[in-house]
Amino acid sequence: MLYLAVKAIISAVIIVAVSELAKRSPAMAALLASLPLVSVLGMIWLWRDVPDPERIAAHAEATFWYVLPSLPMFLLVPALIRRGVDFYPALGAGLVLTVSLYLLTAAIVSRFGVQL
C-alpha cells in the first residue's frame, strides 16, 4: 500500500509542478510537461512490479505509437482558443481529435503487424 501511495504522490507532484510553473513560465511548464516523465515512471513502476523485458519493450513501443496521434491536439487547442473558442470546448475538440486519431493509428499500424 505504501508503494502505491508513493507512486501516486510522485505522479501528483509532477502534475502540480507543471501547473504551478505554468503560472510563471508557460514555455518552461510546456518543456517539463513534454518530457516523457509519465512514460518513464510508468516503465519504472512496471519493471518493479513485473520485470519482464518483453512487456517493457511492448509498452515503450505502444507509447511511441500513441504519442504521435496526440500531437495534433497541441496545435488544434491553441488555434481554436486564438479564434475565440472558449477553453473547455477547445479542449473537448482536441480530445475528440486525439481519440479519433488514436483509433485511426491503431487501425493503420495493425495492418503492418503492430499490435497496440
SS3 assignment for the chain: CHHHHHHHHHHHHHHHHHHHHHHHCHHHHHHHHHCCHHHHHHHHHHHHHCCCHHHHHHHHHHHHHHHHHHCCHHHHHHHHHHCCCCHHHHHHHHHHHHHHHHHHHHHHHHCCCCCC
The predicted pLDDT at position 114 comes to 87
Q: pLDDT tens, 27-67?
A: 888 888 888 888 898 899 999 999 999 999 999 999 999 99
The predicted pLDDT at position 53 comes to 96
Q: Phi and psi dihedrals of 100, rounded to 5? A: -60, -45
The predicted pLDDT at position 67 comes to 93
Range 73-91 average pLDDT: 98
Give the pLDDT band of residue 116 (cuts 50, 70, 90): confident
Range 69-88 average pLDDT: 97
Domain boundaries, the chain: 53-116
- Name the residue type at position 31: L
With beta carbons less than 8 A apart as the criterion, state whether 10 and 41 touch. Answer: yes
The predicted pLDDT at position 84 comes to 98
The predicted pLDDT at position 98 comes to 96
- Name the residue type at position 22: A
For the four alpha carbons of 77, 19, 63 and 95, in that order, the dihedral sign comes to: negative
Give the Cα separation of 96 and 81 in Å (integer).
16
The predicted pLDDT at position 31 comes to 86
Give yes or no for residue 103 having a pLDDT over 90: yes
Beta-carbon neighbour count of residue 12 at 10 Å?
Answer: 10
Give the pLDDT band of residue 87 (cuts 50, 70, 90): very high
